[in-house]
Chains A and B, each alone.
Chain A
């Protein structure tokens, strides 16, 4: 018994010790970037900044924001840098004085449209909501070209998408669809009749790859990496337009690791950082970095109009309207 107790105490000391030795310089990032990709980015960043530990909390946009607000409420903000979709959320964060304005020396290489003029946030990666499908089952004439192909009754129960509550990119998609004269909220009313499976963006892509679903709303980069690994999945750029969402990085105003946070922002829009992003399937925002193989130039692709101002003002309304159609 005595020996057993001593043994346990030693284990506790060893495990507890681990908590204190992490005294290395660090920066804490909250993000919705998929785990496997953020792991790669972390590795690359730490390799280029060996004195900094990048700590990561990864979850869906809504969970990340809920965490940020919970921390704010309890007066104990842990996060230094936040990286989720989309601009409208960051406008709100900025209005609430949660963001720190930082003009990165790298900003000169980034097109004006991709960052806030005072440096409150940088749209460091471009993600596009596109139409994914399973290549094992969907062939020839069945290959979709329009968002409306998802509504084909043959695919009832075999389509899927995320929700605006869960994913920032899907929030932008819902808003863009609602404002689109060809689609509108009616599109989602019709979609509801298809009994779509609601999951995360990655979850929907996984279900399409596994054959549980035949097609659905997915993010282009995840399909590129899955396709490379041999999964039976592909995507099309729908004729009504894809929804392109720059997913921004911003520094939290109360950060205690400002210098490290700045270095992460610098990295994310630097040539090195953008190269690493492109390796993970993201379309780079810098013209001096080559996009992932097989990616068309975004100038040649039809993209849907996005009214950022309207999205920002109607944040809750868009989510509630969507939920009332597809969830409740």
Chain B
């Protein structure tokens, strides 16, 4: 150990630490500093002047109350759906459990704004259900109108439930079933057991899952952008987007956007703190850490009813939306009935061959996702190594800072990026309006995934292995290369994948940072949808979904089911 603390080790550690700190300052601290600076500094003094001006703007409160309304209601729905399904899957003898269990996580694979586009096509005023009804009845009055907030709530609930489902399922599988069994043996019915034993024990886990849904709904841009803006229903994220796009028309637009960002940060931070507190309580409740196979509730004749309910959930959240976009992608013009005589492959030809913008977007998204995932894995590995192995004083702070960009809503982070980089560096370089600002945003945004994955794998490597190598005479670099790298290799790969997937489908950040030539696929789909070219946007969305599903399949195969859904 004394050899290990030699000067050379300290030197390398100091250099590594400095590099990590420098990267974090550029990627995370500076953008946040720029945002807070604009928020709290007025005429060179620390003040709330900027807020004073904008806090009288009614818009802020309208958007804030809309955000809270849709997020709360959809969280309630998502929680009910998620908990029920998790209980069915983990506690009953439902048939085809494995299939249902994984199928119910599939909604995670469809980007929320694509779900929104799909649901607009299904239930919108001119959606498939209404247009078929109107064609049959020869009327201009649709069967039903779900628009604006209720449409947002529907899609937010359906795309949000997997958060609760997954956390509750993990909790239920880890929970010691003996208490529930004891309850049953003492003669309590299923519902009494659920009400008096399962739910109270799982409450912290369910609560944490619900808060995660809430925070992710508040931060979501895609769903309210697709379903709310044309209905004139703005939430915080879409309002910020609109304000930034009209910053030269409306006075103080930027200040208002910044003030709203502060609200978003506060909500997100409070939510995540609550999750921490809740999950701390959970430690006492989960007695057995291992997965224990509980006794399944015998559903009897209800087995297939439950199966049908779970299956229809998968169909509603995954199959139906994909079919809707696929039909639209195959139809000659939006508004025509999806019958065979109206089918064509021209829309795919248009986005893959004719339209430069979408061709560029596909190339850019691959470039961004691949480079961001490689660079992030390198930086993440460095930080994880500093935090777990080297343990330089204050290295915990590195871990904390690297988790910030993911904890705050993407819209806010992108706004920070704009404020930080919209001027030239040293009067020469300017990364604003280039692809590089999107790249560094992605690196910062997904750094937390990388750090977490790699540190948890580093933690499992006992120091004695490295020490043994060092005693046997290998240099620090040799021992690192021959011992650490091979052992953490799977986690490096996992980190690569965990960054690649969300970066590939990203919309919230790139929609604020893109410029001509630097579109991402998400931006291309969104812009085509916005511009009314629904058939083209659907074709591109289908291509995006295919890449995501393929990527997921490959990863699942390669990592033997450890990663991927």
A86: which B residues are within 8 A, CB to CB?
Answer: none
B423: which A residues are within 8 A, CB to CB?
Answer: 74-75
Interface string of B503-522 (1 = CB under 8 A from A): 00000000000011100000
> In the complex, which of the residues B58, B124, B371, B515 contacts A67, with contact meaning CB atoms closer than 8 Å?
B515
Cβ-closest chain B residue relative to A198: B232
Ordered by A's residue number, 28 sampled pairs between the chains whose C-beta atoms are within 8 Å are A8-B374, A11-B366, A11-B370, A12-B367, A15-B366, A15-B370, A19-B435, A28-B516, A35-B355, A35-B533, A55-B517, A65-B249, A66-B248, A67-B515, A69-B248, A74-B424, A75-B424, A78-B433, A165-B246, A200-B531, A203-B530, A203-B532, A205-B532, A206-B335, A207-B126, A209-B334, A231-B333, A319-B249
Residues A212 and B249 in contact, CB atoms below 8 Å apart? no
B430: Cβ under 8 A from any A Cβ = yes
Cβ-closest chain B residue relative to A75: B424
Interface string of A1-26 (1 = CB under 8 A from B): 10011001101100110110000000
Residues A12 and B370 in contact, CB atoms below 8 Å apart? yes
Name the interface residues of A189-235: CB closer than 8 Å to any CB of B.
Answer: 197-200, 202-203, 205-207, 209-212, 214, 229-232
A300: Cβ under 8 A from any B Cβ = no
Residues B489 and A209 in contact, CB atoms below 8 Å apart? no
A200: which B residues are within 8 A, CB to CB?
Answer: 530-532
Name the interface residues of B211-268: CB closer than 8 Å to any CB of A.
Answer: 230-232, 244-249, 251
B93: Cβ under 8 A from any A Cβ = no
Binds B, one of A56-64, A99-107, A121-129, A172-180: A56-64
A1 to B559, CA, bound (A): 12
Residues B334 and A210 in contact, CB atoms below 8 Å apart? yes
List 6 tightest A-B contacts by C-beta distance, closest first: A210-B335, A212-B126, A57-B516, A210-B126, A15-B367, A206-B532
A57: which B residues are within 8 A, CB to CB?
Answer: 515-516
Residues A137 and B246 in contact, CB atoms below 8 Å apart? no
B306: Cβ under 8 A from any A Cβ = no
Residues A62 and B246 in contact, CB atoms below 8 Å apart? yes
Name the interface residues of B28-59: CB closer than 8 Å to any CB of A.
Answer: 58-59
A78 to B248, CA, bound (A): 18
Cβ-closest chain B residue relative to A28: B516
Cβ-closest chain B residue relative to A32: B531
> In the complex, which of the residues B140, B374, B424 contacts A214, with contact meaning CB atoms closer than 8 Å?
B140
B527: Cβ under 8 A from any A Cβ = yes
A209-B335, A211-B140 are known contacts. Are A56 and B357 too (CB-CB below 8 A)? yes
Interface string of A305-328 (1 = CB under 8 A from B): 000000000011001000000011
Q: A5-B374, A200-B532 are in contact. List 5 more A-B contacts (CB 8 A).
A: A8-B370, A15-B363, A30-B516, A137-B140, A209-B334
Residues A74 and B430 in contact, CB atoms below 8 Å apart? yes
A203 to B530, CA, bound (A): 7
A3 to B294, CA, bound (A): 44
A63 to B454, CA, bound (A): 41
Residues B516 and A165 in contact, CB atoms below 8 Å apart? no
Residues B248 and A206 in contact, CB atoms below 8 Å apart? no
Name the interface residues of B336-368: CB closer than 8 Å to any CB of A.
Answer: 354-357, 363, 366-367
B527: which A residues are within 8 A, CB to CB?
Answer: 58-59
A76-B424, A214-B140 are known contacts. Are A203 and B246 too (CB-CB below 8 A)? no
B334: which A residues are within 8 A, CB to CB?
Answer: 206, 209-210
Please list the residues of chain A having a beta carbon within 8 angstroms of any beta carbon in chain B.
1, 4-5, 8-9, 11-12, 15-16, 18-19, 28, 30, 34-36, 39, 42, 55-59, 62-63, 65-67, 69-71, 73-76, 78-79, 134, 137, 157-158, 165, 197-200, 202-203, 205-207, 209-212, 214, 229-232, 315-316, 319, 327-328
Residues A36 and B517 in contact, CB atoms below 8 Å apart? no
Interface string of B277-289 (1 = CB under 8 A from A): 0000000000000
Residues A198 and B126 in contact, CB atoms below 8 Å apart? no
Please list the residues of chain B having a beta carbon within 8 angstroms of any beta carbon in chain A.
58-59, 124-126, 131, 134, 140, 142, 145, 230-232, 244-249, 251, 332-335, 354-357, 363, 366-367, 370-371, 374, 422-424, 430, 432-433, 435, 489, 492-493, 515-517, 527-528, 530-534
Residues A229 and B433 in contact, CB atoms below 8 Å apart? no
> In the complex, which of the residues A35, A62, A316, A328 contacts B58, with contact meaning CB atoms closer than 8 Å?
A328
A315 to B244, CA, bound (A): 18
B335: which A residues are within 8 A, CB to CB?
Answer: 206, 209-211, 231-232
A232 to B134, CA, bound (A): 14
> In the complex, which of the residues A165, A203, A232 contacts B249, with contact meaning CB atoms closer than 8 Å?
A165
A327: which B residues are within 8 A, CB to CB?
Answer: 232
For the complex formed, measure the closest distance between the CB of A264 and the CB atoms of chain B, giving whole angstroms: 15
Residues A206 and B534 in contact, CB atoms below 8 Å apart? yes
A211 to B334, CA, bound (A): 10
A65: which B residues are within 8 A, CB to CB?
Answer: 248-249
A211: which B residues are within 8 A, CB to CB?
Answer: 126, 131, 134, 140, 335
B124: which A residues are within 8 A, CB to CB?
Answer: 212
For the complex formed, measure the closest distance between the CB of A238 and the CB atoms of chain B, giving whole angstroms: 21
A115 to B25, CA, bound (A): 51
B333: which A residues are within 8 A, CB to CB?
Answer: 209, 229-231
For the complex formed, measure the closest distance between the CB of B529 and the CB atoms of chain A, giving whole angstroms: 9
Cβ-closest chain B residue relative to A157: B145
Residues A202 and B433 in contact, CB atoms below 8 Å apart? no
A56-B357, A198-B232, A209-B335 are known contacts. Are A1 and B493 too (CB-CB below 8 A)? yes
Cβ-closest chain B residue relative to A70: B422
A210 to B124, CA, bound (A): 11
For the complex formed, measure the closest distance between the CB of B355 and the CB atoms of chain A, giving whole angstroms: 6
Cβ-closest chain B residue relative to A231: B333
Residues B131 and A197 in contact, CB atoms below 8 Å apart? no
A220 to B451, CA, bound (A): 55
Cβ-closest chain A residue relative to B371: A12
> In the complex, which of the residues B125, B244, B516 contacts A78, with contact meaning CB atoms closer than 8 Å?
B516
A12: which B residues are within 8 A, CB to CB?
Answer: 367, 370-371, 374
A43 to B257, CA, bound (A): 39
Cβ-closest chain B residue relative to A29: B516
Cβ-closest chain B residue relative to A201: B532
Cβ-closest chain A residue relative to B374: A8
> In the complex, which of the residues B230, B247, B357, B517 contacts A66, with contact meaning CB atoms closer than 8 Å?
B247
A79 to B275, CA, bound (A): 47
A36-B533, A74-B424, A211-B140 are known contacts. Are A18 and B58 too (CB-CB below 8 A)? no
Cβ-closest chain A residue relative to B486: A1
Residues B532 and A63 in contact, CB atoms below 8 Å apart? no
Residues B515 and A62 in contact, CB atoms below 8 Å apart? no
A15-B363, A69-B247 are known contacts. Are A198 and B230 too (CB-CB below 8 A)? yes
For the complex formed, measure the closest distance between the CB of B462 and the CB atoms of chain A, giving whole angstroms: 22
A16: which B residues are within 8 A, CB to CB?
Answer: 367
> In the complex, which of the residues A19, A35, A62, A212 contacts B531, with contact meaning CB atoms closer than 8 Å?
A35
A221 to B282, CA, bound (A): 63
A55 to B171, CA, bound (A): 53
Most-contacted residue by chain A among B59, B232, B492, B534 (CB, 10 A): B232
A200-B531, A206-B532, A209-B335 are known contacts. Are A158 and B357 too (CB-CB below 8 A)? no
Cβ-closest chain A residue relative to B251: A316
B232: which A residues are within 8 A, CB to CB?
Answer: 198, 327
Residues B489 and A1 in contact, CB atoms below 8 Å apart? yes
A15 to B518, CA, bound (A): 13
For the complex formed, measure the closest distance between the CB of B387 and the CB atoms of chain A, giving whole angstroms: 23
Cβ-closest chain A residue relative to B421: A74
A18 to B360, CA, bound (A): 10
A154 to B551, CA, bound (A): 51
Cβ-closest chain A residue relative to B492: A1
Residues B430 and A76 in contact, CB atoms below 8 Å apart? yes
> In the complex, which of the residues B249, B370, B531 contacts A316, with contact meaning CB atoms closer than 8 Å?
B249
A71 to B409, CA, bound (A): 25
A39-B354, A212-B126 are known contacts. Are A199 and B230 too (CB-CB below 8 A)? yes
Cβ-closest chain B residue relative to A222: B532
A27 to B533, CA, bound (A): 25
For the complex formed, measure the closest distance between the CB of B252 and the CB atoms of chain A, giving whole angstroms: 12
A8: which B residues are within 8 A, CB to CB?
Answer: 370, 374
